[in-house]
């Protein structure tokens, strides 16, 4: 099974995590909400898969391109 990294498109604070390790996700399903400059932006699954690892927690700050989670696809 291949692994796909899910990264932040811009810097921000992790406001919410909507999935847990082991959850199945569909393509375009919202997995994390980032807050940047008081705007909430969903981070969605690039494809269907299973959440293999979550490397951030709520209130963590992530840089642009920072790893958020990995999916088994």
Residue of 29, 26, 69, 27 lying closest to 51 (CA atoms): 69
Residue of 4, 6, 9 lying closest to 17 (CA atoms): 6
User: Residue 53 sits in which domain range?
Assistant: 3-72
List the pLDDT tens digit at each of the 73 positions of the chain: 799 999 999 999 999 999 999 999 999 999 999 999 999 999 999 999 999 999 999 999 999 999 999 999 9
Could you tell me the maximum CA-CA distance found in the chain, to the nearest angstrom? 37
Confidence (pLDDT) at 1: 73
Domain count, the chain: 1
Round to whole Å and give the CA distance between 59 and 47: 25
Round to whole Å and give the CA distance between 73 and 70: 9
Strands 30-36 and 12-17: antiparallel
* pTM as predicted: 0.92
CATH number, domain of 33, equals: 2.40.50.100
């Amino acid at each position: 099974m291949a692994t796909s990294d899910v990264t932040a498109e811009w810097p921000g604070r992790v406001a919410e995590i909507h999935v847990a390790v082991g959850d199945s996700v569909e393509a375009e399903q919202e997995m994390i909400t980032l807050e940047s400059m008081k705007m909430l932006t969903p981070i969605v699954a690039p494809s269907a898969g299973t959440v293999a690892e979550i490397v951030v927690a709520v209130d963590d700050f992530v840089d642009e391109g920072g790893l958020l989670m990995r999916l088994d696809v």
